[in-house]
């Protein structure tokens, strides 16, 4: 689940950046999924996305807006009934 979410988020971020006229040289995303017992089974309670990106011409504000938009628009994010947090760092 974590790998699928990280991959999907990276693709969503690339799309949002492209719509803003920006192209990433690199997007590296990891997802950490927290699973807890629930009524004899298990449930995903939270996901933390950590993204590092190199995007020529982007400033932190534009990158932050794109990163937040990708989190909301990511199809895998929409599947989870869990708290999703994001740490986004723009590399120079």
Q: Which residue has the tokens 């996305």?
A: 49
Candidates 54, 63, 58, 74; CA nearest to 12 is 74
Residue 77's contacts (CB-CB under 8 Å, 6 or more residues apart) are: 5, 8, 9, 12, 47, 71, 84
Candidates 13, 92, 7; CA nearest to 54 is 92
What is the predicted pLDDT for the residue at 90?
97
Share of the chain above pLDDT 70, in %: 100
What is the predicted pLDDT for the residue at 92?
79
pTM: predicted TM-score of the whole model, two decimal places: 0.93
User: Which domains does the chain carry?
Assistant: 2-91 (3.30.300.20)
Mean pLDDT of the chain: 96
72-87 pLDDT tens trace: 999 999 999 899 999 9
DSSP state letter for 21? T
34-60 pLDDT tens trace: 999 999 999 999 999 999 999 999 999
SS3 of residue 1 by DSSP: coil
């Amino acid at each position: 689940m974590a790998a699928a979410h990280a991959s999907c988020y990276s693709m969503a971020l690339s799309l949002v950046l492209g719509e803003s006229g920006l192209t990433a040289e690199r997007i590296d995303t990891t997802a950490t999924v927290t699973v807890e017992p629930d009524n004899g089974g298990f449930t995903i309670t939270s996901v933390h996305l950590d993204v590092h990106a190199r995007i020529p011409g982007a400033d932190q504000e534009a990158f932050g807006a794109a990163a937040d938009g990708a989190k909301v628009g990511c199809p895998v994010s929409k599947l989870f009934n869990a708290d999703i947090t994001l740490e986004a760092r723009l590399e120079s």
